[in-house]
Amino acid sequence: MSLFNHHLEEGAFIAMVPTIHDVAKLANTSKSTVSRYLNGQKVKKTTQAALDRAIRELNFHRNAHARRLVTSKTFTIGIAIDDISNVFYSGMIKGIEDAVKKEGYNCIYYSWTSNFNREISFLDLLYEGQIDGLILVSFRRRQEEELQKIRESPLPVVLIGDRGGKDGIFSVDVDNAFGVSELVAYLHSIGHRNMAYITGPDHAAASKYRLKGYIDTLGALGIPYRPEWVVTSDWSNQGGYEAMLEINGLEGITAVLASNDETAVGAMRAIQESGRSVPEHMSIVGFDDISIAQWVYPALTTVRQPFFEIGNKAAAGLFDKIHGRPHAESASHLLRPKLIIRNSCANT
């Protein structure tokens, strides 16, 4: 019979949940020592070993509700994602969870489509005390009024993605302009001067920064900007294919910069179907370094987004706010992507 089975009447038993007192008794230590250990504080190695054995033997689980009553905390952070099916977010989620695990917290994920229609609505979770902090994750262009409400919130909230140039908000994003600048400079270094550009949709915050990187770097290299060589896409394979059909009708172009990898893959197919080959007749580059980039033929030159680092830095910044650490700050952090050279470009 288990230590926690207490007799009620003949043939009837009730299972009692082990408590901190039971753990302390079995480990031959005090309840305060058990509490310190469970809250992440250091104890003697021999005491830690005894506590670990007792916790396993008793199958002890911390009472989350009691812990919340004592600390006024949920020990949970919320991550609100605009499209939870987007594969780009998996690396960011790993980075977030790495930081959350180290802090002894849990994550709960929310999708816009299944919960709220507006990102700003997730702030209610903070005000209602359901979570201790909030990370808002979106590649979409954020509205001015919503950013203002986020900035004015006294509770811990950070952004992944664009913060619309507003001060007073902790945000982490990739340096989109830098990534495209690296690609333009690389193509220039292997002889290309006539470079077309496939831009992204207006609703994506990154589109304007990536286009800016293209225009500014052309100027820095002394190459005239030709707006007729910029074609819009929706960042899909089909969008890249259709954009490349337009570019195929332009004269003199030797290289194409696609503003994401899916667009580049679609564009490569349009090039090949036109009877030309990559990179012999046309060089092409992408942006993101998604898994398919190294498997298409030829393998795609691109820039790799630091997805893990973006998520990790955002979560670290959130915990600085939660714990009120002296170095907690509200600043924009742009992490630089890395140029990945493969086989989709050739010298002119």
Residues 284 and 313 in one domain: no
Residues 202 and 164 in one domain: no
For 235, the domain range is 176-305
Residues 286 and 312 in one domain: no
Count of domains forming the chain: 3
pLDDT, tens digit (0-9, with 9 covering 90-100), for 233-262: 999 999 999 999 999 999 999 999 999 999
> Looking at this protein, which amino acid is placed at residue 325?
R
Residue 203: DSSP 8-state:
T
Residues 320 and 283 in one domain: no
Question: What is the structure's pLDDT at 62?
Answer: 66
Is residue 347 domain-resident?
no
Provide, for the chain, the percentages of residues in helix, strand and coil under a 3-state DSSP scheme, each rounded to the nearest 5. Answer: 45, 20, 40
Question: What is the structure's pLDDT at 248?
Answer: 95
Residues 198 and 294 in one domain: yes
Q: How far apart are CA 301 and CA 296, in angstroms?
A: 11
| 30 backbone dihedrals φ, ψ, rounded to 5° | -95, 160
Domain boundary among 15, 30, 58: 58
Longest dimension (CA), the chain: 93
Residues 184 and 155 in one domain: no
Is residue 64 domain-resident?
no
pLDDT, tens digit (0-9, with 9 covering 90-100), for 290-319: 999 999 999 999 999 999 999 999 999 999
Residues 272 and 314 in one domain: no
Is residue 341 domain-resident?
no
Low-confidence residues of the chain, pLDDT below 50?
1-14, 69
pTM above 0.75, yes or no: yes
CATH number at residue 162: 3.40.50.2300
Question: What is the structure's pLDDT at 14?
Answer: 44
Residues 42 and 114 in one domain: no
Residues 277 and 321 in one domain: no
Residues 142 and 228 in one domain: no
